[in-house]
Structure 1
Amino acid sequence: MTAPQLYSEQALADCDVVANSTMNRARGLTGVNSYARELGFDPVVRLLAAPGPPAWLDLCSGEGHALRAAAARLPDDAVLTGVDLVGPRTRSPLPPTVELVTASTADWRPVRAYDLITCVHGLHYLGDTLALLTRAAGWLKSDGLLAADLDPASLRLPDGGPAARPVLAALRAAGFEYDARRHRLTLHGGRTLTLPFTWLGADPAAGPNYTGQPAVASYYRPSG
């Protein structure tokens, strides 16, 4: 196997597959096509159990429908932040507790810690997936939860071979849990961590992943 032409984060942001408009843009909070269904829990229930003002960061948030719906069920001091490369296409007024940021997750940094960080099917379209997971681990509160969909088949070695086994081993050693049946990655409790891989670039022409949608493959060199 040989690696295809690999894209940088900047070049990747200009690819149509990364600005995918079908995976997460219309997803609501609860119901059939919802965050609750994909994550296996209702984010609001989790947030209401958190001490202090609840804070939720949703990465690759699409139109932000889930955050808008959550705002109606959460107290007025909640902080609900959505970050998306394309951003919402509708300009309807936001609830006071919701902020939707149009930015690349490769560049954006928060100014606070969160009780809940989610990335529902968003990792499928990112370049350096492991870098975002590393950063997001540091954005969690000490009792916070990170939950994301991860396709290990999209992680490749420099020669194009699968990197799933060493990457998942490193993630588990860092404290993550991975449910292979649901393709769900979780981390309980914020922390500073490093992962022993160097990102080489990404292939936006990797083809469909387990969802049936075109996705990005990320290439890594083990560095430890």
Structure 2
Amino acid sequence: MPEAAPLLLQHLNGMYAMQVLAVGDRSGALAALLDGPGDAAEIAARSSLDERNVEQWLRCMHAAGYARHEAGVFRLTPEAAATFDDGFPIDARGILDFVFAISGEGVRRIPDAMRTGEGVEPEAFAELGAAASRINSRLYAAALVDEWIARDPALDARLGAGAAIADIACGDGDATAQLARAFPRSRVIGIDPGARPRTDVPNLTLFAETAERLGDHGAFALVTCLDALHHLGDPAAAVRQMAGALDGEGVLLIAETSMTGDVDRDIAADPFVLSTHAAGLFYCMQDNLAAGGDGTTTSRGLDWVATAVAEAGLGAVDAFESDTGFRVFLARR
């Protein structure tokens, strides 16, 4: 074997490392190791797992570089421990949920979808969708209200005093609930075909509907679509529907992963660009195609968002880059 392993084998190691973490998270072994160092018997006892399986998992963690070993005792590296701390910018366990889900039914159907171009229906990606929501949750907690909405002081004041907010393609409603908690005087709704009722926030209601029904719920001071517009079969039509539901001073807020669409520039600018492209292939683009779309993803850049906003009659647009990795569009008439 040459000193520098071929790229294929380097990536193989990375795949195994992520699966080892994901299995440890699902089984409870990772939580036990996060509680402190121990040998296989101690970690197994803490997690109520089989000792032999835990021993093998710990060997994997050591080989992957996430744990260190000395005299039979394993401990997480400081870097690994920090990654799973509540203060980490994104929920690393959400990433592991995504890794676990990536081997599910939806992804296994993609080879056929690549032949037909017809996509894979969203129901096949329910687990991936939940994982994506968990990954984004901390980013929204950090920026949605305090950075993105606060950028428009008049909007912020309206919502604080009490107004109507709608979140389109809201998924499980995590970000929608963040809006409802931040603005308890406002009426907040979330719309998504797969939405399930939530009772944990009194001023929040989720509707299992599509954006076409938004107008049935009145006029809104704020309509949001967060990391979701590219999933929809006709993003331009959805933007028109959202714009049509704004009240006279209403604002449309769209957030999408910031990409230029130039394959070489994006690779040079973002060391994690593969994750964006792969998520598009394995999940987002399949949603779009299954809904009759043309395969729109953020990998193509975001000119299509600006065009859709302009064609919807929203002339006052503030588009800016967020440290969260999103490009945010705040638009009003």
Which TM-score band applies after superposition, normalised by the shorter structure? 0.5 to 0.7
2:331 corresponding residue in structure 1: 187
The structure with the largest strand share of the pair is 1
Q: 1:70 to 1:170 in 2, by over 3 A?
A: closer
How many angstroms does 1:142 deviate by?
A: 1.2
Bigger drift between 170-179 and 119-128 goes to 170-179
Aligned to 1:61: 170
Secondary structure at the aligned position of 1:24 is classed as helix
Pick aligned residue for 1:41 from 148, 162, 165: 148
Matched, 1:177 2:317: yes
Q: Structure 1: how far apart are the matches of 2:306 and 2:239?
A: 12
Structure 2 residue identity aligned to 1:188: R
Please state whether the residue corresponding to 1:87 is helix, strand or coil: coil
The 5 Å alignment of 1:13-52 reads 13-16=122-125, 20-25=129-134, 27-28=136-137, 32-34=138-140, 36-37=142-143, 40-42=147-149, 49-50=157-158
What fraction of aligned residue pairs are identical, expressed as a percent? Answer: 19
8 Å Cα contact 1:59-1:82 kept in structure 2: yes
Corresponding position of 1:80: 188
What SS class does the counterpart of residue 129 from structure 2 fall into?
coil
Structure 1 partner of 2:223: 117
Task: Name structure 2 gaps, 5 residues minimum.
Answer: 1-113, 262-284
In the TM superposition, residue 19 of structure 1 has moved relative to its aligned partner by: 6.7
Which AA in structure 2 matches 1:113? A
Structure-1 residue corresponding to 2:210:
104
TM-superposed CA distance for 1:125, in Å, is: 1.3
* 2:251 pairs with 1:145: yes
- Asked if 2 retains the 8 angstrom alpha-carbon contact of 1:60 and 1:119, the reply is yes
Q: Secondary structure at the match of 2:188?
A: strand
Which stretch of the first structure deviates more once superposed, 118-127 or 46-55?
46-55
CA-to-aligned-CA distance 1:64-117 (integer Å, 9 cap, x gap): 2344344445354x21001123224xx662433210112233555432111111
The amino acid across from 2:187 in the alignment is V
- Structure 2 CA distance, aligned partners of 1:33 and 1:167? 21
Deviation of the 1:45 alpha carbon: 7.2
Superimposed CA distance per residue, residues 110-149 of structure 1 (whole angstroms, 9 cap, x where no aligned partner): 3211111111101121110000001100111111111112
Cα RMSD, aligned residues only: 4.3
Instruction: Give, in angstroms, the shift of residue 167 of structure 1.
Output: 6.9
Q: In structure 2, do the counterparts of structure 1 residues 71 and 17 end up closer, same or farther at CA, with 3 Å as the change threshold? A: closer
Within 1, Cα distance between the matches of 2:225 and 2:209?
Answer: 15
Q: TM-score when scaled to structure 2? A: 0.42
Contact 1:12 1:127 (8 Å CA) reproduced: no
Q: Normalising by the residue count of structure 1, what TM-score does the alignment of the two structures yield?
A: 0.58
Verify the 8 A CA contact 2:189 2:207 in the aligned structure 1.
Answer: yes
Q: Any stretches of 5+ residues in structure 1 without a counterpart?
A: 190-224
Conserved? CA contact 2:236–2:308, under 8 Å: no
Q: For CA contacts below 8 A with separation 6 or more, give which structure has more relative contact order.
A: 1
